[in-house]
Structure 1
């Protein structure tokens, strides 16, 4: 207790200097945590993907559709127990700022493949009955203030016109990283529109989603699917859901690497600031440390005194930085909306923040503490004059 009291007195002997150092630590640790969370959120889709789902798309590009007639042939492949399909819609709700994913799906089979979308039986039944019906995730509903029974109007971009849907259900994610930022509606409704406006483009799907029971056979089943349509006019590329998600992440990989680099640069900058503070502290207290050695205190005690002071400041700043990370992340999440489906500070990020603060405290005081432990008593006492 005495040592802690002594460290606190020493740490706050210069309130302004210590306060500014703490402020820098708080900003640095909070910024480090926020950037790490952005990086993790980008990979949420990959982490939330299931090993029991495969995605088949056009081998040329996602922008090319696949014939609906592939359904039965894929269903007949050994290892595939369920098949569904989806089309990207790309509508605008009120303004372009309100971006969120919208998919036209085959409701019965799609919901079987995504059990992590927790929907009540009544809401599921209402959605299945209503061709104009739609369901959304809880986060998206909260963001726009939607409730069951509301009418949601989307302005089509790929498929022109105003599309009105009746909200029949709101799902809750089974896990924290389950995407709750999507809107799903009936593929049959979209297909009917396409066949009326663009007859040659009807009965086509964007992707097939395949349910398998044996994840260890994912590569084998994927190969069998692609062999079925090899040399056809619409060849397929089948991969695991996580690989499919990673293909999107890889498009922005350089940005993610830059964000990660900046997060570590911020820690290095505050390390330099902290090291400068501890060096100034050691220089000012040269005579005091020499006096302690003259009174019989060993070099180790003197070094631990300076090291403990640095750690105390770093840990206080780190704890405050971790605490303010949560409201900052919450505010950031409300601003970015549906761009990042889940934006939560993970336990890994908190441990990294704590480790960064601890590392800054240790490294910043290492050199001055070593010097003070080796200080010559006579030269130290002369420093008074």
Structure 2
């Protein structure tokens, strides 16, 4: 067995330049495949990390329309509701338009209670609660812009015009790797007070964007959603309540066509490298017809010849797959650094790693199929007739 493996390995690297170029192609293909699959995973990242014990209540018409703060008490009194909070999308600009990151005005205490996955040191949490102008940011966001505790963060309002200055009182980290660390959050009360002073936006006084509803039992989500919405039926601002996961998936649905295209391209990359690999194996097999004929003349079976071809193809493919996977991680890190906070959760998962290796193995097996069949079935005399 060791002699067979040694023979296969020597055959695989006999034509060094050809093998090297094939390996480079496989490495690039695996990196591209893994990166595209990671982008798809990132698109669904927020939805996958959503809690089954939280509901989102929004305006039934659109997220663009706010809800009155007066709805809070009715929702809180709904049977099965354990806690609730609210938030408003702020949508300001930090220095320039390219510095995009999610900004929310929140009710600090109840909001952080509902999101225990946002881990904030007790002293920082206390400082945030006490400072009406205070804000907290995710660790990834703070690292990107070099923010430190106590820094003043200037943001130019778009939805809510004016220059806003926030004091960074806390930097939270995710409880797990799947938690979004790109959020910027500040006091809703601070926003509401500024709205009262601005006649142009005072129609949004005492209004919120969404309500976040914590459940005593996640299995009652559908029932409680209906009960909440029924309370505001035929009101000036009817509500739509859905699970946090469904709420997040509604954003993904807006770009479903893009996600589908990325999925298709990721598999096209594998098909292209499969064709390149098949051409390499066909050339190798064509050059070794006399060797295969000699082996058959010595008594080796066609299955043995096929095994040599398959082994050679798999060694090249798996070597390229492993190298590609090793390089995928630093490539993904560079990629996410360049795109900033567009993808809040961007990491190469175990599933993507296995898919990449599986794709490499599939390329190796598929590319060797025809050359192995030809090598196994070519008559001995036909093999010796080829001088090339």
Query: Equivalents in 1 of 2:257, 2:203: separation in Å?
Result: 39
* Corresponding residue SS for 2:235: coil
Residue 271 of structure 2 is matched in structure 1 by: 268
Instruction: From 338, 351, 356, give the equivalent of 2:354.
Output: 351
Residue 2 of structure 1 is matched in structure 2 by: 3
The aligned runs of 1:57-96 (5 Å cut-off) are 57-96=58-97
Residue 190 of structure 2 is matched in structure 1 by: 189
Does 2:15 correspond to 1:14?
Answer: yes
Q: TM-score when scaled to structure 1? A: 0.99
Query: Equivalents in 1 of 2:128, 2:4: separation in Å?
Result: 66
Contiguous gaps of at least 5 residues in structure 2 = none
1:373 Cα offset (Å): 1.0
Does 2:231 correspond to 1:231?
Answer: no
Query: Equivalents in 2 of 1:222, 1:66: separation in Å?
Result: 16
Query: Equivalents in 2 of 1:112, 1:327: separation in Å?
Result: 35
Instruction: From 291, 306, 310, give the equivalent of 2:309.
Output: 306
Contiguous gaps of at least 5 residues in structure 1 = none
1:2 Cα offset (Å): 2.3
1:253 Cα offset (Å): 0.5
Query: Equivalents in 2 of 1:146, 1:89: separation in Å?
Result: 20
1:201 Cα offset (Å): 2.1
* Corresponding residue SS for 1:39: helix
Compare 178-187 and 275-284 and name the one that shifted more.
275-284
Residue 320 of structure 1 is matched in structure 2 by: 323
* Corresponding residue SS for 2:87: strand
Residue 364 of structure 1 is matched in structure 2 by: 367
Residue 165 of structure 2 is matched in structure 1 by: 164
Query: Equivalents in 2 of 1:186, 1:312: separation in Å?
Result: 58
Residue 149 of structure 1 is matched in structure 2 by: 150
Does 2:211 correspond to 1:208?
Answer: yes
Residue 110 of structure 2 is matched in structure 1 by: 109
| Number of residue pairs matched by the alignment | 385
1:95 Cα offset (Å): 1.1
Query: Equivalents in 1 of 2:110, 2:5: separation in Å?
Result: 63
1:219 Cα offset (Å): 0.5
Query: Equivalents in 2 of 1:113, 1:25: separation in Å?
Result: 46
1:137-159 residue CA offsets vs partner (Å, 9 max, x unmatched): 11001111111111111111111
1:297-355 residue CA offsets vs partner (Å, 9 max, x unmatched): 11111110111000000011111111111111000000111100011100000000000
Query: Equivalents in 2 of 1:8, 1:297: separation in Å?
Result: 19
Query: Equivalents in 2 of 1:343, 1:140: separation in Å?
Result: 13
1:384 Cα offset (Å): 2.5
Query: Equivalents in 2 of 1:371, 1:35: separation in Å?
Result: 35
Query: Equivalents in 1 of 2:87, 2:238: separation in Å?
Result: 17
Does 2:286 correspond to 1:283?
Answer: yes
Q: TM-score when scaled to structure 2? A: 0.98
Query: Equivalents in 2 of 1:169, 1:321: separation in Å?
Result: 39
Query: Equivalents in 2 of 1:271, 1:305: separation in Å?
Result: 19
Query: Equivalents in 2 of 1:4, 1:94: separation in Å?
Result: 60
1:200 Cα offset (Å): 2.7
1:4 Cα offset (Å): 2.5
Residue 173 of structure 1 is matched in structure 2 by: 174
1:195-236 residue CA offsets vs partner (Å, 9 max, x unmatched): 121333200000000000211110000000000000000000
Query: Equivalents in 2 of 1:305, 1:242: separation in Å?
Result: 50
Residue 219 of structure 1 is matched in structure 2 by: 222
Root mean square deviation, CA, Å: 0.9
Query: Equivalents in 1 of 2:142, 2:8: separation in Å?
Result: 51
